[in-house]
Structure 1
Amino acid sequence: MTSEPPISRFPVVPLADLPPDLQERFTEVADKSGFLPNVFAALAWRPDEARAFFALHDALMDKDTPGLTQADREVLVVATSAANGCLYCVVAHGALVRIRARDRYLADQVAVDWRKAPLPARLRAVVEVGVRLAVDPVTVTAEQQDALVGQGLTQDDVWDVGAIVALFALSNRLVHWAAVPPNQEFFLLGRVPRH
């Protein structure tokens, strides 16, 4: 029998010892999802950075815009996190793809090879330039960004694509650095009915 891996190589502060605003947020997240994602616990030992990270995450991910739904945003995270080899983000955001896109298979297809995944042309263009930005940023061109506008994205949406990729490049690397494992609960979310 194996034990659960530690949440982080760095200190993990008990919930009761966190600043009140983080305690409140973490309790709300745990109440809503049924568990606290490990990344919350891993980042919380540096409260100012955790607040900044989660504020930027919320500003970028918790909205639908003309060119990018919340599901599209999660697909972009899965594709770029897979390109960066980040198991935590692929598993956690794969669960969100399953829930938000109402598709049990799409996240796995995107994680393994987004080029073969059944993506609409608009989202395929988003993922293509997003993966390029994630792994070889100097090769991203203005023409590729302009092509996103041709696919129906606004300038705000185009900015969001770059900002999401940048935020999750940070997230991917911090999760690697701290060796944060995905919560077991993420593997089943969107695959089996919630009780």
Structure 2
Amino acid sequence: MDVIDFLAGIAPGDWLDQLRRARPETRAQAQRSHEALFTPTAPVAGQVSRAERHAVAAFVSLLHQQAEAADWHLQLLQELSPHWFEAVRHAAAAGATQGPYGHFPAGPLTAEDQDGTALQLPQALRAVLGERLHAALLHAHFLVFHPRDAEPQRVRALEAAGWQADDIVVLSQLVAFLSFQLRVVDGLRVLAAGWQVEPGPAVRRTASQQGAAAAVATPVPGAEPVVFTQAELQWQPWLAPLDEGALTPRHLDGLVDASRAKSPYFRLLARDPDTLGARTRTDKDIFYNPAAGLPRAERELAAAATSRYNGCIYCASVHARFASHFSHRKDDVQRLLDEGVQADLGARWNAIVDASVALTATPQRLEVAHVAALRAQGLDAQAAADLVHAAAFFNWANRLMLSLGAPRY
């Protein structure tokens, strides 16, 4: 069973089925990512149980207000660990809010800081969940709603609750993957509805995020960046990556490209090599597939806009550079970084940014009006589907980058 098809109600031969089959590698690898996380054939060294995986997934789905996905995971959880069934539902109800929010490092971006809810559960509920699952739900809530509040102490709190390094990678992958999968499901549903209405004008832009003033700073090697930038950044992990010399053929298969063995980020994710391999192949097809659809520059624009809205300085730097390279519009891309997602980039780019941001909000708020605006700017169904996948994927990527380490010059 293809889970995205199941959750989105896609039947063989219908419009969405044909649209998904036009990108067979993306479709297949998204499903393989799901299988690697929920039914691993060769588990990693950690000890994340099936019950824990479905408990976290049900919690994350409830926070996204995705009833079908939540019910699916809850049914499996009731079979695996019935005493957690109601506890997870109560925990999600206690944590319901809207995101993204959070705080930036001290500097110009603090003008965009937004306070929000931190999950707090009563002691009786914590006792039912146990400290290990309670810690996992705290981590999941943070990643769903305020990933830019990342700090190494969050990783240390998981360790104190009994989560090993391999477990923490699996947990972050799980929450981050669901942030992608659930948005693809919702995005495809909205696309189908949006193709039934006439193309229309751009959605009126709202002041949901106040951009910081542009700031020019001299990068200091090893220092934390405090503005969004197109400069090339490094990334410092908060957990030990695997040693390059210790990588097995299974790890190397997960890396896909041998050159990634030099990267501490990918060697850290290689602690769960099967998920990493499926994720990397999903990434490559979404962004590098040259067959029609959305131009590469605008796939990268969607990634940069998503990262800007979520607050991932590292991801925004990488994909802003790609957007600048492929579009030859470096000044416009920089305006997105400096002014935020409300920057006026022209009608077509505004429509792409607006749709990416609407899909990135939690719960997502993509509407048929966004689809109508994309159609009015000349996007066909494949291009719009590529946009959904590009924005959704960077909700996955941002949450890994932010939860497991930090950018440095």
TM range (shorter): 0.7 to 0.9
Which residue in the other structure is 2:401 paired with?
175
Q: Distance in 1 between matches of 2:377 and 2:293?
A: 8
Give the CA deviation at 1:137. 4.5
Q: For 1:143, give the aligned amino acid.
A: A
Which residue in the other structure is 1:9 paired with?
238
Which residue in the other structure is 1:105 paired with?
331
Which residue in the other structure is 1:191 paired with?
none
1:122-133 pair list within 5 angstroms = 122-133=348-359
Give the CA deviation at 1:116. 2.7
Distance 1:41-1:143 versus aligned 2 partners, 3 A rule: same
1:21 and 2:253 matched:
yes
Q: For 1:93, give the aligned amino acid.
A: H
Which residue in the other structure is 1:190 paired with?
none
Which residue in the other structure is 1:189 paired with?
none
Q: Distance in 2 between matches of 1:164 and 1:49?
A: 18
Q: Distance in 2 between matches of 1:10 and 1:94?
A: 27
Which residue in the other structure is 2:27 paired with?
none
Give the CA deviation at 1:23. 5.9
Q: Which has the larger radius of gyration?
A: 2
Deviates more, 1:98-107 or 1:43-52: 98-107
Give the CA deviation at 1:151. 1.9
Distance 1:118-1:126 versus aligned 2 partners, 3 A rule: closer
1:127-166 pair list within 5 angstroms = 127-166=353-392
Distance 1:24-1:162 versus aligned 2 partners, 3 A rule: closer
Do 1:61 and 1:73's aligned partners in 2 also have CA atoms closer than 8 Å? Answer: yes
Cα-to-partner distance string for 1:71-108 (whole Å, 9 max, x where unaligned): 11111111111100001101111221232223433332
Identity fraction in percent: 24
Q: Distance in 1 between matches of 2:245 and 2:407?
A: 22
Give the CA deviation at 1:171. 1.0
User: Residue 7 of structure 1 aligns to a residue in which SS?
Assistant: strand
1:4-83 pair list within 5 angstroms = 7-18=236-247, 19-22=251-254, 25-27=257-259, 39-64=265-290, 66=292, 68-83=294-309
Deviates more, 1:125-134 or 1:61-70: 61-70
Query: Gapped runs of 5+ residues in structure 2?
Result: 1-219, 224-233
Q: Could you tell me the TM-score, scaled by structure 2's length?
A: 0.39
Q: Could you tell me the TM-score, scaled by structure 1's length?
A: 0.75
User: Residue 116 of structure 1 aligns to a residue in which SS?
Assistant: coil
Q: Distance in 2 between matches of 1:145 and 1:38?
A: 38
Deviates more, 1:82-91 or 1:37-46: 37-46
Q: 2:342 aligns with which of 115, 122, 131?
A: 115
Q: For 1:139, give the aligned amino acid.
A: R
What root-mean-square deviation, in Å, do the aligned CA atoms of Structure 1 and Structure 2 show? Answer: 2.8
Q: For 1:127, give the aligned amino acid.
A: V
Q: Distance in 1 between matches of 2:326 and 2:275?
A: 27
Which fold has the larger relative contact order, with Cα–Cα distance below 8 Å and residues 6 or more apart in sequence? Answer: 1
Q: Distance in 1 between matches of 2:298 and 2:310?
A: 18
Do 2:241 and 2:264's aligned partners in 1 also have CA atoms closer than 8 Å? Answer: no
Distance 1:162-1:168 versus aligned 2 partners, 3 A rule: same
Distance 1:136-1:14 versus aligned 2 partners, 3 A rule: same
Q: For 1:49, give the aligned amino acid.
A: T
Q: Distance in 2 between matches of 1:47 and 1:127?
A: 32
User: Residue 118 of structure 1 aligns to a residue in which SS?
Assistant: coil
User: Residue 305 of structure 2 aligns to a residue in which SS?
Assistant: helix
Number of aligned positions between the proteins: 176
